[in-house]
Amino acid sequence: MSSCTPTIKRGSRAASPEFARLAAQRRLCREEVAKLLSASQAAEIEAVRAEAERVLLARCGNEVYLRGLVEVSNACARDCHYCGIRKSLTAIPRYTLTADEIVACAQLCAEAGYGSLVLQSGERSDKAFIDLVCTAVRRIRRETRTAVQPEGLGVTLCIGQQSREIYKRLFDAGAHRYLLRIETSNPKLFAAIHPPEQSFQSRVECLGLLREIGYQVGTGVMVGLPGQSIQDLADDILFFRDHDVDMIGMGPYIPHPDTPLGREPCADVAERVRLALVMVAAARLVLRDVNIASTTALQALDPVGREKGLRFGANVIMPQVTPADVRRHYQLYPGKPCLEESAGECQTCLAMRIESAGRKVGYNHWGDSAHARRRLDRRMP
Ligand code: SF4
């Protein structure tokens, strides 16, 4: 096991009967979700975790899907108050990978058997950038076809709010999943952490457009934001359910000292990690068969945070494949893990981390969520 791979402590712990009963309920109201999120004693947390793990294994199986993460560009037209690559941080060297570089990253993913990749960037709608992403997606789908994956790698995009026309172009180029995080479902809190030109409503409308076009749609939130309540987090879970999302990516909020929000007080690290883990579990209990990522933000705050995320109901991990020379310039928050490791080292380390959580890697397939497969089958004529 590599030096960057701490082991996760496992063992049987007593579970609180009260929280076990609540977690096993098939339908949870807002107050009940909030109660689950309040689990703070070891026995309460274990009851929520164990039921979430049981639901995950029953509904989605034991496999963990890997999405190679390619950070295509750190240039961004937005100025979110919490983000380490917001446009007003002018000292950061900005980069954009070429189509050849993006495809080379995709080849690494295909060789490693990852099955899918995520193209992520700051929010840009300029023609040159959208043309670049369309070209890269088309080439990835064509040039990563292998005997074990005849359709090529699955492609998830995470490039922010765009027009319907742009979403459609990217879909037609071959992208089939899109992650657009709402960051919080509380419109007032959203307004407090974004500049006035970014509206909660327009982000929600984008989720609708993506779904209408035919993408598998993902969203997510930050957990432990200044001013965020347990009720807000319960509402986030219900937002995911009510918008019938296929995948969720959420992690603990990590303040960036160079941003306006980063200077405001927030809960301590242990509390933000606890909250992020019970949010993963509550999302699994309420949404059942969606894909949920165990995010790098969890690992940034806890050396075994991603393994814990898997044990609380997550089933997706995103290994870093961005070229090492630009990776340090894509830091949405400080303390991002895997800054120096090569893609090969990340691959070995992750496989061991996944096994240490008692799970196995789902190699060489797209790993669509059972929820998306069910939803899209229903739409077939
Ligand atoms: S969160 Fe996204 S859209 Fe906002 S500033 Fe950062 S990269 Fe840009």
Atom of ligand 1 nearest to the CA of 86: 5
Residue-level pLDDT at 35: 98
125-134: per-residue pLDDT in tens? 999 999 999 9
DSSP string, 101-118: HHHHHHHHHHHHT-EEEE
Atom of ligand 1 nearest to the CA of 85: 6
**C-alpha span between 294 and 256 (Å, rounded):** 21
Query: The whole model's pTM is what?
Result: 0.94
Which amino acid would we find at residue 312? F
178-228: per-residue pLDDT in tens? 999 999 999 999 999 999 999 999 999 999 999 999 999 999 999 999 999
Cα angle, residue 375 at apex, residues 152 and 320 outer, rounded to 5°: 40
Ligand 1 pocket, Cβ-based, cut-off 6 angstroms: 76, 78-80, 83, 85-86, 122-123, 160
Distances (CA, A) of 335 to 32, 301, 353: 34, 8, 19
Distance of CA 93 to the CA centre of its chain: 25
- Answer yes or no: are the C-beta atoms of 64 and 316 closer than 8 Å: yes
Protein residue with its CA nearest to atom 6 in ligand 1: 83
Catalogue the E-assigned strands of 34-158: 63-73, 115-121, 154-158
Pick from 85, 219, 221 the residue to mutate for probing ligand 1's pocket: most ligand atoms within 8 Å of its CB: 85
**C-alpha span between 253 and 334 (Å, rounded):** 11
For the chain, 381 residues long, give each residue's pLDDT as a single digit of tens.
Answer: 343 444 445 555 789 999 999 999 999 999 999 999 999 999 999 999 999 999 999 999 999 999 999 999 999 999 999 999 999 999 999 999 999 999 999 999 999 999 999 999 999 999 999 999 999 999 999 999 999 999 999 999 999 999 999 999 999 999 999 999 999 999 999 999 999 999 999 999 999 999 999 999 999 999 999 999 999 999 999 999 999 999 999 999 999 999 999 999 999 999 999 999 999 999 999 999 999 999 999 999 999 999 999 999 999 999 999 999 999 899 888 887 776 676 666 777 788 889 888 999 999 999 999 999 998 876 654
| 141: alpha, beta or left? (left if phi > 0; alpha if psi -120 to 50) | alpha
**C-alpha span between 90 and 315 (Å, rounded):** 37
Place of tokens 């689950």: 36
Protein residue with its CA nearest to atom 4 in ligand 1: 80
Domains and CATH numbers, the chain: 17-379 (3.20.20.70)
Residue 228's nearest CA partner among 286, 182, 184, 261 is: 184
Protein residue with its CA nearest to atom 5 in ligand 1: 86
